[in-house]
Each structure stands twice: as structure tokens, then as C-alpha cells.
Amino acid sequence: MRTLRSLIQSGVAVATALWAGPMSAQNVTEVQISPPQVQLRLGDRTQVFATAYAAGGNVALGAVFRWQSSDTNVVRVIVDEQSTEIGTLVATGAGATVVFAVSGPGAGTRGFTTVTVTAPAPQPQPPPIAIVAPVVMDSVLSPTVAAASLRSAARVEVQRFGTPVSCASGALVGGGFVATSYQTIRGADRVTISLENGTVVQDPQVVSYNVANDVALLRIPASMGDSLRIGATVQDNQYAWAVSYPACQAVASTSRVRITGTTPTLRHSGNLPESGMGAALVSNNGELVGLVNGDRTVAAPYSRVQSALSDARNSPRPTSVVDVARAENHLYGSFAARSDAPGASARVSPLESWQWSTLAREAALPMTFTGPLGRYQVELLINGAVRASTIVRVTPGVSTQVTLAPPALAQTPATPQPATPAQPTPQPPPQQPASPPVATRRGGSAAVPIVIVALLGGGAAACFTVGPCKKADTTSNGGPGPGTTGTVSVSIPNP
């Protein structure tokens, strides 16, 4: 009896130690699932990721998660026992449900994501099974491949003169190299790279870049083990996953796209956010098949990434991001435009070959424009019409002031006043006529006088000009037109 009691007490002690260990190790106060909302079509699969936080907002290391679905008829959750932070959602029916990730003993601490599943529209003639089968096979990213792809992700934060810090994505490709698009670092003053393992690198060196191919390779001090392999093939209609940082969040996620074209660049069906620039496109076997360009609907194919990687390994030319921007004339400057004209706006158009068309901008005044160095045409618009135009030169690291003013309004001719009627007076004896007044051109030469007298009411007006009496021509700035000599008016009483 004493032996049995000892065994029971020993078992209780061991169980208590095993139970208390995870509690003290995890100490979870909050669980978050990324992304917080998911939309699926019937039959789709996707991965979501749980992160546990301890007191103070620190990530709770070693946390183990249990996954639940409030309606398994809508969504079923598959859990990788080796990586419980990853849940694979399988859309089994149309509707809405909530998926929970729970960490800790008992009821634990839970986070959730809402999932909506829609049924596809019925097809009048569904494709044969032989055609559909290959597409279905590569439409799912396994939890193991997804986890490895996410560990290779790099967040790239970029600072340019006069602009807020922007966020893009990149990927480790071996040898301490981070691959991203050139547009990610274009015109940058500072670059910061953050890896999924917590490593932060300030101002990495650029070892290879190609403006036309929109590829850049940045070198970080340490070589990381979780690097993507460069692919060997990519086909139309195959699925791929963009590994990026939506909304510049701290944790990377995957977004499934479909390749819709392969030459000369990759085109895909995804609607990626701005932070998706530079993201790696990963196939279902974990290979990098493309690198998302600046417009986020096109990607550089794996062959261009491989070419840049070969250059970086065989003939590296390490330099800073500032030196790259200076060499390509992409360093940023700015100008502030204003006008006293009410309701005015400005239209800015780039003029240099190294500037890109998307720099063009139209906005109400006052406005501040920031972009790469060089000349820009700036037009003043009033009620949609161009009233003035000037050329502004942007200097790197400098902000200038530009005042836009329309031409002066034309001067309104004074309204002639009628002469006061005069009483008739006796006429003097005839005399020799006096010499008529002489009109002088603006240039100073004398003009032949011409006298024209017209009866106007009670008086007469005489016009002395070098040509027929007429109103002076005006230009947009209110001055006399070319060749105009001016007029002289004299009131003469009626005889």
C-alpha cells in the first residue's frame, strides 16, 4: 500500500511539473492571427498564422496552439503538428465562420480570424477533369513550404528626401543577399532591412542592380539559412504565392496569385498592396519564380533574378543606395508651388529621360511636389485653362519655392466723356491755318498727320493718329499690341 501511494504521489508531481513548465514558458496574454479576415471560394485552401504575445507586448516563444472552427461545415482547419502556429483553412461549404487559435492550458488565450466562403458560379460546360487536375494539384501551398517561404521574407523600409518612410518587401536568396525590385530602392537616402528572425540591418550595400529589369540585390552581414531557391521554369496558369508584408505589418504573409503571362515579364492576377513591391513569387514547391515589380501587376522572371545573382557573386560592385541614386539621377528634391489666383491648380509634367511618367501630377494650389532631380514643366490652371507655364529645376536634397501668377489683365480703355455743348460765337476773320499737331511713334520718329473730324452731338472729336482711327490692340498682359502707336483725342466745339 505504501509503495502504491508513493507511485501515485510521484506521478502527480511529474504531471504538475510538466503542466507548470509550459505555463511559465508561454505566459501568453494575447494571440493574434494574420490575416484577421479571409475570403475563400468553395474548395480553396490558404494558410493563416498565429502569434502569441506575453506581458509587455513581447512575442511568447515556444507557444503551442490549438485550432478550432466555429462551423466545420464551412471551414475545416488542418494543423501541422511540427509548426502549430500555422493553420491551413479548407473551404468545405458556402457561408461564414470564425477560426480560433488557442494557446495556454484550459480555456487559454485565443485569437480569431473571420472566414467567408462563397460558392463559384455554375459553369455551363465544366472543363474535363484531365484539364482541371493539374491546376488543383499546384493550388495548395503546403504548411512546410509556406513556413520556409515566410522565414525567407525581408521587410525593406526606404526613406527618400521630403517623403514619408515607405515599406516594400524582399527575399533572402542565399549568400547573404536580399533580392528586391530596383523601384524599391530608387532615389533612396536610407534603407533598413528587417528579417523574420528579428535581425535588423541599416543601410545595406547594393552589390548588383538593373534599372531596366527592375532587380536589385542588397548584401547583409550574415548569411541566413532560410533562403529561397531560384526556379527553373514557370508556366501560364500556374499558381504562385507572393510573400510580402501587407500594410507593412511586422509578420509576413502569403497571397496566392495566378500567372497569366510569362514573356517578356511575368504577369499575374493578384491585387497586391503597395508594400508588395519587391515581393518574391514562390511556386508550390518553394522556388522563387519571379520578383514583383513596382506596379505590382508584373514581375521580373526568375531568369533576371538569377542573372543579377550571378553578377553579385562573380563581379560584385558594392556601393551605397545614395551612390546608386546619384549615378541614376534619382536623388529626390522638392518644390512648393503657390499662387494668389483664387481657385487655381497646378499641373506638373516630368521633362527628363530618367524621370518616370507616373511623376506627373495635378493638384490644387498650394501644393508640394517631391521627385527626382531635373526639370519639370509646371502649368498654372484657372477654370481648367492654362494661364501660365514655367520650367522648375529640382535639386537633390533642396526644397524651393515657386510662385505662379497669370499674365496681367488687359487695361480697360477709359470711356470717352461727351463734350459740353458750347454757345455759338461770332467767327473771326479767315486766317492761315495753323500747323496740325504731329503724332510721334514710340520709336521717336515723326508721323504724317491725318485729321478726321466727326460730329458727335453738340461737339466734335478729332482723332490724330498715323493711320485710321481705331481702338488700340491689346495682348494678354494688358499692353499695346505690336506696331500700335497710340491715339490722341481732342474735343472741338461746333461752329
**109-118 and 153-159 beta bridge pairing:** unpaired
In percent, the amount of the chain with pLDDT more than 90 equals 47
For the cut 60, the answer to whether the pLDDT of residue 20 exceeds it is: no
pLDDT tens per residue, range 119-135: 877 667 666 655 444 44
Q: In the block, which residue shows the cell 490652371? A: 381
Q: What is the mean pLDDT of residues 146-170?
A: 94
CB 185 within 8 A of CB 205: no
CA 187 from chain centre, in angstroms, equals 14
pLDDT tens per residue, range 320-365: 999 999 999 999 999 999 999 999 999 999 999 999 999 999 999 9
Q: What is the mean pLDDT of residues 167-188?
A: 94
Rounded to whole angstroms, the Cα distance separating 127 from 125 reads 6
Rounded to whole angstroms, the Cα distance separating 30 from 104 reads 10
pLDDT confidence band for 139 (50 / 70 / 90) = confident
Residue in 309, 70, 283 with CA at minimum distance from that of residue 179 = 309
Mean confidence (pLDDT) of the chain:
79
Q: Which residues of 251-288 are buried (b: 16+ CB within 10 A; e: fewer)?
A: bbbbbbbebeebeebbbbebebbebbbbbbbbbbebbb
Q: What is the pLDDT of residue 323?
A: 96
Q: What is the pLDDT of residue 425?
A: 53
Q: What SS3 class is residue 185?
A: helix
pLDDT confidence band for 297 (50 / 70 / 90) = confident
The larger pLDDT score, comparing residue 131 to residue 50, is at 50
pLDDT tens per residue, range 203-239: 999 999 999 999 999 999 866 667 899 998 888 889 9
Q: What is the pLDDT of residue 442?
A: 39
Q: In angstroms, how far is the first alpha carbon of the chain from the final one?
A: 153
Q: Compute how many other C-beta atoms are within 10 angstroms of the C-beta atom of residue 32.
A: 16
Residue in 180, 261, 243, 242 with CA at minimum distance from that of residue 213 = 180
Least confident of 107-111, 305-309, 356-360: 107-111
Phi, psi of 158 (to 5 degrees): -125, 135
CB 186 within 8 A of CB 173: no
Least confident of 80-94, 409-423, 451-465: 451-465
Q: What is the pLDDT of residue 174?
A: 86
pLDDT tens per residue, range 429-454: 555 544 444 433 334 444 334 333 33
Q: What is the pLDDT of residue 460?
A: 36
Beta bridge partners of 158: 166, 191
The larger pLDDT score, comparing residue 44 to residue 415, is at 44
For the cut 60, the answer to whether the pLDDT of residue 142 exceeds it is: yes
pTM for this structure?
0.57
Q: What is the pLDDT of residue 429?
A: 55
For the cut 90, the answer to whether the pLDDT of residue 251 exceeds it is: no
Beta bridge partners of 194: 155, 200
| Cell numbers standing for residue 417 | 466723356
Q: What is the mean pLDDT of residues 368-382?
A: 97
Rounded to whole angstroms, the Cα distance separating 195 from 347 reads 41
CB 360 within 8 A of CB 350: yes
Give me the domains of the chain, ranges plus CATH numbers.
23-119 (2.60.40.1080), 145-326 (2.40.10.120), 332-403 (2.60.40.10), 408-423+435-495 (no CATH)
Q: What is the pLDDT of residue 423?
A: 55
